[in-house]
Amino acid sequence: MTAFFNTTVGMSYDWAWFTATIVGILVIALPLMLAVAMIIYADRKIWAAMALRRGPNVVGPFGLLQSFADGLKVFLQETIIPSAANRMLFLLAPIITFTVALIVWAVIPFQAGVVLADINVGLLYILAASSLGVYGIILSGWASNSKYPFYSALRAAAQMVSYEVAIGFILISVVLWSGTFNLSGIVMAQQSTLGLHINAFGINPLLFPMAVMFFISSLAETQRAPFDLTEAESELVAGYQTEYSSMSFALFWLGEYANVLLMCALNATLFWGGWLPPIDWAPLYAVPGIIWLFAKILFFFFLFSWVKATVPRYRYDQLMRLGWKIFLPVSLFWVFLVSGVLMWLRVGFQS
Amino acid sequence: MIQAIAFYLFAIVVVGSGAMTISSRNPVHSVMWLILAFFNAAGLMVLVGAEFIAMLLVIVYVGAVAVLFLFVVMMLDIDVAEMRAGVARYFAVGLALAVALAAEILIGIGAWEAGGVKISRRAAPIDSAVPNIQAIGDLLYTRYLFVFEGAGLVLLVAMIGAIVLTHRQRSGVRPQNISRQNARRPQDATRNVQPPVGEGVEL
């Protein structure tokens, strides 16, 4: 796109790059907002179906416009800032959550070559950005100057920091296998895994346990059920967002779902072939890669909803135990295992 | 052009937020300014082409160290008046430290102006086409392998030391036995009864 603005429109290279990047950001962010609205609707419909209810069915055909009606409602409401709150940080917190949920999409490859920033440290960028997500929650809890949000912020911080460690090790085993931090490179490395004509690291018996652990960790990282202790309504009212109203609440809400979609996209990209078709068979490549990616994202989103609708909430000590005593040692061991196997396969034993 | 704008933006924000870190009254605000400074420092590193270091700065400092800072600072109950009194008492020490640091920077710049140090075994400059993750990895795992592993060992010892120092065996507590909890089945814990009408349940 930079070339288009440079030659066709006739801008200087710098400004062509700048305009192309802005356009690219809008092309990703605006549909993402629409997707978030629709995914909230889908989420509610899926829970409703699993609970034998109807779910949203009033606004628009099949209730399709429910999320937009909700959005309009919060947009028109008054923003209430508690008088004891720390005003600046109180307003900054939802902005951080929302921004962090959006910036990671810059490195997600939607198709061969279709990625906003094709950087060679893509996976590190994702780790860096996802480690920022915790700030929105900590700050909202602290700035609200209220008990339940503060408890929730402490829980959230401990939870996200704990699971990030395991996620880091899981990602390292993927990086070891594919030999690159670039997400497009990781997708391409999954082509015909183990020569079985299936495009997914997930079918590799060494990486499959990592895929499962990554899925569970991504539930914990996005604070979805069964790890939604930060907004456990029976203990903490609404958790860190208790004091928020109107658009500041909506930004948390959008950010949360944008994060969920992002984690689904990462599950699809890192372990299940990203924009490659599931089977390495030429006619399937006729379907655009973005459709395969979206299908995989939706599949993982369905799993997220399914878990939320069926699994009871963890106790806090169980959550910490799972993170530190099970996931961390297993993923650490797996890094050794994977690197050992790779040494054996690619370098061989030397006497 | 864009690089120049970006450089001045990042540089100004780093310096400004650094100043705000030490001058803002609320310690939580200080930590937030510090995080902003880390961020913009990462931006500067991206500009000079050190993207790996930039990402590490964000992951390690912003993602882990500053979270711990924030955690601690959030819990503190800080009395500004008491801190004011402390400023007067430690003013001399602080001034001495500031002078020492400034002198070191000046000496360092002076030495750099005078020309590089002659070191007998230097690493050859790495081709700029090699991504810097790969370049750092090559150096760390070949030339500096023992130093690298030594540093890892030091960190491990520090970690174990911190755990040993702070861990104390408490008596008289009844911790949860998780494996027993997990092994428990509904039929061990519950009893299905069908009491006749008007009799109630025997407990």
- What confidence tens digit (pLDDT) does each residue in B179-197 have? 888 888 888 888 888 888 8
Residue of higher predicted confidence among A316 and B156: B156
Q: Is A244 on the interface with B (CB under 8 A)?
A: no
Percentage helix, strand, coil, to 5, in chain B? Answer: 70, 0, 30
How many other C-beta atoms lie within 10 A of the C-beta of residue A91? Answer: 18
Return the pLDDT at B160.
Answer: 94
pLDDT score recorded for residue A273: 83
pLDDT class for B74, splitting at 50, 70, 90?
Answer: confident
Lookup result for tokens 């973005």: A290
* Tens digits of pLDDT across chain A (351 residues): 666 777 777 677 778 888 888 888 888 888 888 888 889 889 989 989 998 888 888 887 888 888 888 888 888 888 888 887 778 888 888 888 888 888 888 888 888 777 888 788 888 888 888 888 888 888 888 888 888 888 888 888 888 888 888 888 998 888 888 888 888 888 888 887 777 777 778 778 888 888 899 999 888 888 887 888 777 777 777 778 888 888 888 888 888 888 899 999 989 888 888 888 888 777 777 788 888 888 999 999 999 999 988 888 888 888 888 888 889 999 999 999 988 888 888 877 765
> Based on the domain organization, do B66 and B135 belong to the same domain?
no
Q: How far apart are CA A237 and CA A171, in angstroms?
A: 34
In a domain, residue B95? The reply is no
Q: What is the model's pLDDT at position B91?
A: 83
A181 touches chain B (CB under 8 A): yes
Q: Which of residues B43, B59, B77 is at a domain's end?
A: B77
Its domain, for residue B140, covers 131-168
Distance separating alpha carbons of residues B17 and B2, to the nearest angstrom = 22
Count of CB atoms within 10 A of residue B23's CB? 10
pLDDT at residue A153, as a whole number:
84
Asked whether the predicted pLDDT for residue B154 surpasses 90, the reply is yes
What does the pLDDT look like over B106-144, one tens digit per residue? 998 888 887 767 766 666 777 777 778 888 888 888 888
Cβ distance B146 to B140 under 8 Å?
Answer: no
Half-sphere exposure of A209 (CA within 13 A, CB side): 15
The residue with tokens 């889908």 is A42
The whole-number pLDDT of residue B81 equals 65
Q: Other C-beta atoms within 10 Å of B59: how many?
A: 21
What token pair was written down for B96? 């001495």
Question: How near does any CA of chain B get to the CA of A99, in Å?
Answer: 14
Nearest residue to A27 via CA among A116, A108, A143, A96 = A116
pLDDT band at B17 (very low <50, low <70, confident <90, very high): very high
Q: Is A95 on the interface with B (CB under 8 A)?
A: no
Instruction: Single out the residue in B39, B55, B77 at which a domain terminates.
Output: B77
Residues in A touching B55 (Cβ below 8 Å): 121, 124-125, 127-128
Question: In this structure, is residue B152 part of a structural domain?
Answer: yes
What is the enclosing helix (H) or strand (E) of B162?
helix B145-166
Whole-angstrom distance, CA of residue B54 vs CA of residue B133: 11
A87 close to B (CB below 8 A):
no
* Better pLDDT: B174 or B81: B174
pLDDT value at B71 more than 90? no
Distance of CA A22 to the CA centre of its chain: 22
Query: Does B26 fall in a domain?
Result: yes
Predicted TM-score (pTM) of the model is: 0.83
Cα distance between residue A81 and residue A87, in whole Å: 7
Check whether B203 has a pLDDT greater than 70: no
Q: Is residue B42 part of a domain?
A: yes
As a whole number of angstroms, the longest Cα–Cα distance in chain A is 73
| 3-state secondary structure (DSSP) of residue A198 | strand
Whether omega before A278 lies within 30 degrees of 0, making that bond cis, reads no
Task: Count the residues in chain A.
Answer: 351
Which residues in A lie closer than 8 A to residue B59 (C-beta atoms)? 124, 127-128, 131
Q: How many angstroms separate the CA atoms of A128 and B3, rounded?
A: 23
Number of domains chain B is built from: 2
| Domain containing residue B50: CATH number | 1.20.120.1200
Q: How many other C-beta atoms can be found within 10 angstroms of the C-beta atom of residue A186?
A: 24
**B51, B67, B133 member nearest A134 (Cβ):** B67
For residue B121, the 8-state DSSP code is: S
Query: Is A79 within 8 Å of chain B by CB?
Result: no
**Residue linked to tokens 């995914």:** A39
Kindly give, in sequence order, each residue whose CB lies less than 8 Å from that of residue A308, ignoring residues fewer than 6 positions away. A43, A47, A224, A225, A226, A228
The answer to whether A17 contacts B2, with C-beta atoms less than 8 Å apart, is yes
Chain A positions touching B29 (Cβ under 8 A) are 88-89
Using an 8 Å CB-CB cutoff, list chain A residues near B56.
Answer: 124
Q: Which two tokens stand for residue A223?
A: 């604070």
Helices (H), ranges, chain A: 2-3, 13-50, 66-76, 87-103, 122-143, 147-178, 183-189, 208-221, 233-236, 246-271, 289-310, 316-321, 328-342
A265, two tokens: 């996209």
Give the C-alpha distances (Å, rounded to integers) separating B107 from A57, B102, B119, B154: 73, 9, 19, 30
Q: Are B43 and A100 in contact (CB under 8 A)?
A: no
| A180 to chain B, closest Cα gap in Å | 10
Work out the number of other CB atoms within 10 angstroms of the CB of residue A171: 22
Whether the CB-CB separation of A36 and A258 falls below 8 Å is answered with yes
How many interface pairs between A and B have CB atoms less than 8 angstroms apart?
Answer: 66
**A89 contacts B28? CB cut-off 8 A:** yes
Alpha-carbon distance B96 to B106, whole Å?
15
- Reading the block at residue A33, the tokens are 């907002």
Q: What is the mean pLDDT of chain B?
A: 84
CB contact under 8 Å between A138 and B67, yes or no, is yes
Q: Are B44 and B37 in contact (CB under 8 A)?
A: no
Q: Summarize the confidence of residues B38-61 as an average pLDDT.
A: 87
Task: Tell me the nearest-neighbour CA distance from A132 into chain B, angstroms.
Answer: 6
Which positions in chain B touch A119 (Cβ < 8 Å)?
51
B70:A181 CB<8 A: no
Nearest CA to A90 out of A142, A132, A131, A134 is that of: A142
* Interchain contact, A86 vs B28, CB within 8 Å: yes
Which pLDDT does position B110 carry in this prediction? 87
pLDDT of residue B164: 92
Q: What is residue A157's predicted lDDT score, i.e. its pLDDT? A: 81
Task: Retrieve residue A346's tokens.
Answer: 């690619």
> Is B93 within the bounds of a domain?
no
Chain A residues touching residue B35 (CB < 8 angstroms): 135
Whether B144 maps to a domain, the answer reads yes
Rounded alpha-carbon distances, angstroms, from residue B135 to A319, B48, B139:
39, 15, 6
- In a domain? residue B17: yes
Best B55, B73, B76, B141 member to test A by mutation, with max A CBs in 10 Å, is B55
Our CA-based measurement puts residue B175 at a distance from the nearest CA of chain A, in whole angstroms, of 11
Cα angle for residues A141, A145, A150 (degrees, 5° grid): 35
Give the separation between CA A331 and CA A333, rounded to whole angstroms: 5
Query: SS3 for A266?
Result: helix
Tokens 């009408």 locate to: B197
Q: What is the mean pLDDT of residues B88-98?
A: 86
Q: Is-contact A169 A328, C-beta < 8 A?
A: yes
In a domain, B83, yes or no: no
Alpha-carbon distance of A313 to B59, in angstroms, equals 29
CB–CB contact B32 A125 (8 Å): no
Distance CA(A349)–CA(A341), nearest Å, equals 11
* Contact call for A321 and B178, based on CB within 8 A: yes
> Is A246 in contact with A79 (CB distance < 8 Å)?
yes
Q: How far apart are CA A59 and CA A53, in angstroms?
A: 16
Q: Are A201 and A193 in contact (CB under 8 A)?
A: yes
* Chain A interface mutation, best of B2, B60, B65, highest count of A Cβ atoms under 10 Å: B2
pLDDT for the residue A313: 85
Q: Which of B7, B52, B71 is the mutation pick for testing A, counting most A CBs within 10 A?
A: B71
| Chain A residues closer than 8 Å to B58 by CB | 128-129, 131-132
Partner-chain residue, chosen from A14, A127, A317, that has the shortest CB–CB distance to B59: A127
Give the whole-angstrom CA distance, residue A342 versus residue A172.
13
Q: Which of A121, A127, A161 sits opposite B52 (nearest CB)?
A: A121
Give me A57's structure tokens.
């069915």
List the beta bridge partners of residue A198.
Answer: A279
